[in-house]
Copies of this chain bind each other. A is one copy, B any other.
Amino acid sequence: MSFREELQKRTAEIEEILRGYLPAETGFQKTVLEAMNYSVTAGGKRLRPMLMQETYRMFGGEGKVIEPFMAAIEMIHTYSLVHDDLPAMDNDEYRRGRKTTHAVYGEAFGILAGDALLNFAFETAAGALCENFNEQTAKAVKILAEKAGIYGMIGGQVVDVESEGQAIGQDKLDFIYRLKTSALIESSMMIGAVLAKAGEEELEKIRQTAEDVGLAFQIQDDILDVTSTLEVLGKPIHSDDKNQKTTYVTLKGLDQAKQDVAEISRRALDTLESLKCKNPFLEELITMLITREK
C-alpha cells in the first residue's frame, strides 16, 4: 500500500473514532449538538489526532486509551476554528469548502457551539481519566489543558488578533506561530508519547519535533494563502492580505519562506530520527507537510 493509500485508510479510521465521541443529537439542546457535530464533521486533515496516534504507536502504545484524547484534541482544534471564523474575529463565511458554523447556525450558536466543543473536549478527556486512572492519563489531561490555553494556543491566537493591521517583527511572529499552531501539535504528539509511557528525555525531543512541525505547517499555510486558489484550498485565499496581516511571507518573502519550511521540516525529522523508536509512517507524514497543496 502506498503512503497516500495508507494515509487515506488511517484518516478514515480516525473519522470513525471521532464520530464515536460526538454527542447524540437529542434533547432540548439539540441545536447546539448539531452545530458541534456539523463543525467537527466538516472534514479537515485530522492531522492532530493522527500525529497523536502515530506518536503513541511509535512508542509502542497499543490500547484504546488514546482514542478519547484524539477526539479531544480535534474538538479543541475545531472550536478554535469556529470562534476564529466569527464576525468579530476573521469573519469568514467558508471553511474547508463548507459554510462556517455561525454562517449556518447564527452568531450566538457559533459562540456557544465553540464553547461547548472546548468544554466537551475536557469532558471526554476527564471521562478517559476516570476510566483509566493512572499518572499517564492525568499528565495527558494537564498537557491538553496547558497547550490549548493562554500559554499555548489561545495565547498565540490573541496576539495574532491584536496584531492585525500592524507591522510586527520576527520575535512576535515566532511567538504567535509557536503558540497558535505549534502548541496543539506539541499537545498531540506529547500526549501520544506520555500515554505510551515515554520517558522525560524522549518527551522533550517529541516536543521539539512537534514545535518544528507546527512552525513548518504554519509557514506553509502563509505560502498557500498567496499561491493557492479557493477551489484547491477550500477556503478563501489572500485572507491574510484582506486582514492586513504580517505573515512569514510578507516578512521574509516567498522564496525564503519556502526554504525555511524545508529546513525546519528537516530539523523536525532529524530530531525524530535521533530517538530509538521508529515510525516510518510518521516520518512520511511530516515530510508530506512540506509539499502539501491544501
Residues of A near any B CB (own CB < 8 A): 23, 27-29, 31-33, 36, 79, 83, 86-89, 106-112, 114-116, 118-120, 122-123, 125-127, 129-130, 133, 135, 138-139, 141-142, 144-146, 148-150, 154-159, 161-162, 172, 175-176, 179
Contact = CB atoms under 8 A, between A and B. Distances in A.
A197 to B, nearest CB: 16
Given A118-B118, A145-B123, A32 B130 contact: no
Nearest to A79: B115
B89 A108 contact: yes
Contacts of A126: 138, 141-142, 144-146
Contact of A149 (B88, B120, B148, B176): B120
Contacts of A83: 111-112, 115
Contacts of A145: 119, 122-123, 125-126
A145 B28 CA distance: 20
Chain A: interface secondary structure? helix
Nearest to A143: B126
A130 B142 contact: yes
Contacts of A161: 108-109, 112
A88 B114 CA distance: 14
Most interface-central of A31, A118, A175 (chain B CB within 10 A):
A118
Nearest to A134: B133
